[in-house]
Amino acid sequence: MSLYNLDLNTSLRKKKDAKKYWQAVLKRELLGTAITMNVNKDPKSTYLELLKYKPKNKILIPGLAVNTEYGEVIVYAPNVDLYDYNIFFEEKVSLKRICDFCKKRQFLVSIAHPFGLISKSSTYLMGLNKLEKFISKNKIGVEIYNGMIGYLSYYMYDSFFLRKLRELLDFLEFNEIFKYLGLDWFFRRFSRKLDQTSYDMVYKFEAAIKLGKKAKFVTAGSGTDSLFQIGSGILVIELPKFIIDEENTLLKNKEILSRIYNKKIKAVGPPGIYTDELFERSTARITKQKAYDDLLYLTKRSIK
């Protein structure tokens, strides 16, 4: 038995980048991914395009991001037949219908980024208490780590960049020249916004983990269509060699999804090394750059 990393929430912005997609998977040392294009973005042809270039020893699980009445959910299946069911392509389809339909066909349903954007997140649209009961009753999953939402929170309080930024803001806020010019209020406001953003990000990360305790299973992924960010959220799974060597794609995907459904996984989180039941956080430049880019994005939104 060996440990492998999977990114279970990826998209492809341009089909011509299919080869680059797999180069990114190889570079991040992932066993494979699930391609979870939104139903409005031609998911079947994207899957088939990626499948053409898939390295022999890698995994590609068919998936869909479905727009339900209560936000976005991800559906996983072992084969391409997933894309032929019209129910998934209905706008704001009933979440209960999706769950019942998938249960009959042994597809997996996972609540995507439950504390993400309000317009797409089930927690905000359904309410936390109601969602917890629904998840438990219908035996579905929760995406408890999404690279687009949770990644920055992992670095929020201890990165060198953030420490230096706070030191700079404190200096500018109390500098006599800026006080005289009446600009100290701007730096004070900026600093408070950064604090609030930090708190919000950490809360979303922790709340998703707590919600996952009510779920039948949990998932994790980068939640991105950026090749640069593939692998920024991963699920760590332990698999025997015979599954890795299995040449039948359907059987291989079925076995992996079965293990995820039965919570036979080791961890979820940011990229790194799983050891002694903990993650050793990656110190690679790419992870720091990702955190930096997320910070700039969130800061701009906070100021606005």
The dihedral over CA atoms of 115, 116, 117, 121, expressed in degrees to the nearest 10, equals -50
User: Three-state SS for 77?
Assistant: coil
Topology (CATH level 3) of domain 2-151+203-282: TIM Barrel (3.20.20)
- How far, rounded to the nearest angstrom, does the alpha carbon of residue 228 sit from its chain's CA centroid? 14
How many angstroms separate the most distant Cα atoms in the chain?
Answer: 72
Token reading at 304: 């606005």
The SS3 assignment for 7 reads: strand
CA–CA dist 221, 239 (Å, integer): 19
Residue 260, pLDDT score: 95
| Alpha-carbon distance values, 201 to 28, 35, 155, 194, 213 (Å) | 24, 25, 10, 11, 19
pLDDT at 258 over 90: yes
Tens of pLDDT, residue by residue over 86-132, are 999 998 999 999 999 999 999 999 999 888 766 678 888 888 899 99
| Tokens 């973005």 sit on residue | 41
Helix (H, G, I), strand (E, B) or coil at 220: strand
Q: What is the mean pLDDT of residues 270-292?
A: 64
Greater pLDDT, 68 or 122 = 68
pTM for the model stands at 0.80
pLDDT digits (tens, 9 = 90+) for 197-239: 665 666 677 788 888 889 999 999 998 888 888 988 889 998 9
User: Please, what sign has the CA dihedral across residues 81, 235, 300, 285?
Assistant: negative
Q: Is 214 helix (H, G, I), strand (E, B) or coil?
A: coil
Would strands 59-68 and 71-76 be described as parallel, antiparallel, or unpaired? antiparallel
Give the pLDDT mean for 272-276. Answer: 62
Tokens of 179: 């006080």
